[in-house]
Amino acid sequence: MIQYDCMNETESFFEDQFSFQLNPNKFSLEVEKTVKEKKLDYIDAVVHLCEKYELEFKAVAKLISPTMKDKIEVDALKRKYKL
């Protein structure tokens, strides 16, 4: 029986879905597209993509660029102030 590394399966699935190599820039573009099309904030856009493509949050953590992290942080601060 062949055992697969979960991360490799996730990366392979993601690459098949988008026909490109997995990298932070392209993931950021997909998040930005989701934010605009679905009118979501950045946190929800990342969650949406994880759910849509059955990705684990840990698998996409390495794809979140410093710029995207800043945008997610702003969203988190906004949510805190809404409470």
Q: Structure tokens of 9?
A: 């399966």
Assign 26 to helix, strand or coil.
helix
Domain positions in the chain: 6-82
pLDDT at 4: 41
Asked if residue 38 lies in contact with residue 48, where contact means CB atoms within 8 angstroms, the answer is yes
Position with higher pLDDT, 53 vs 77: 77
**What's the rounded mean pLDDT across residues 60-78?**
92
For residue range 18-59, what is the model confidence (pLDDT) as tens digits? 544 668 888 999 999 999 999 999 999 999 999 988 888 888
Q: Which CATH class is domain 6-82?
A: mainly alpha
Q: Which pLDDT score, from 0 to 100, does residue 83 have?
A: 44
pLDDT of residue 25: 87
Query: How many angstroms separate the first and last alpha carbons of the chain?
Result: 51
Q: What is the pTM of this model?
A: 0.70
